[in-house]
Amino acid sequence: MMSQLVAIPSISSASPDWDHSNEAVVRLLAEWLEPLGFRNEILPVPGMPGKVNLVATLGTGSGGLVLSGHTDTVPYDDKRWQSDPFTLTEKDNRLYGLGTCDMKGFFALAIEAAREAAQQPLKQPLIILATADEESSMNGARALAEAGYPKARYAVIGEPTTLKPIRMHKGIMMERLVFEGQSGHSSDPSLGRNALEGMNEAMNELLALRAQWQEKHRNPHFAVQYPTLNLGCIHGGDNPNRICARCELHFDLRPLPGMDMAELRQTILTRLQPLASRRELSLEFQPLFDGVPPFETSAEAELVKVCEKLTGQQADAVAFATEAPWLQQLGLETLVMGPGSIDQAHQPDEYLDLSQIDPTITLFKQLIRHFCL
């Protein structure tokens, strides 16, 4: 199964030159799940031709367990790969291939674990959820949350955590700020309104906000315990002897659980609008994409306690973002836990260690028994 999944390109990217449909992957998963008794629903993602989600359900009931993953991969540089990214290659006790770790390998192992459940009546349903476009827009999971579907009680997202339970992660905000003023000859500042000087002041305001947030918000579960704000790139002006008429800044903000993205954006806007008005600059402030909210499940949640007991590891936090916030919006008690290491994700020669395969199947079987049988 893993070999066939890796062989199908399903890259998602903001660049049309890279972007693929994920429908072939979803239909292959459905083809494998149907003989096991799963009811397959292939749901198009609104406004995104060729992008689909799969909700495959075994059994009935109002509770149950969701095993969730995304079907897309990131782009790749084949010149940096030592093997074909679309051919599953076994070497040095590892399985190499694009998506082996992040995260097509998860589906093969989840389906293998589900075979046991397919042989007996379930008290609560088992749902295999396969989403689109996690690596670019998160629109697959967002569409499910907006539709209020599927319904269940617990969800495990099989992102690569080396089977360690993860109950929280930071959010991701990527923002665009533009100042527009008036160009003019640099010999007389009164002839123009300098957008670059306005942006310099705005960056100082952003760094002051960062310092305030970092002083106010701390979470010792994270390796970087505070929210981060990174000034990523800036473009402005065209010549040393012209007053800069336009300047654009892109920055990212990683909020901790408990920090609201809409409130953060409003705080930034409230801080920058007076500056723009005083300098007679027009201001444009908008997200580069909708962002991923921070995620947290209580340490006392049943799913957390069960996964800690089964793995013998305390639930932790990670810096990378997942689809967990949208599954939470569906009312699911959610946790992130899957095979492979995030260190291999998004890398040339991505691989899944063979030592992860049997423990993953065993762990997923235990979860299915606990929550569905």
Catalytic residues: 72, 134
Pairing mode of beta strands 246-254, 173-180: antiparallel
Label residue 110 left, alpha or beta by phi (over 0 means left) and psi (-120 to 50 means alpha).
alpha
Burial, 216: exposed, middle or buried (Cβ in 10 Å; 0-12, 13-18, 19+)?
A: exposed
171, 321 in Cβ contact below 8 A? yes
160, 344 in Cβ contact below 8 A? yes
Phi, psi of 5 (to 5 degrees): -65, -45
Helix intervals (H) in the chain: 2-7, 23-33, 104-117, 139-147, 195-216, 261-278, 302-311, 324-329, 357-372
Closest Cα to residue 166, out of 320, 368, 63, 291? Answer: 320
Residues in the chain: 373
22, 52 in Cβ contact below 8 A? yes
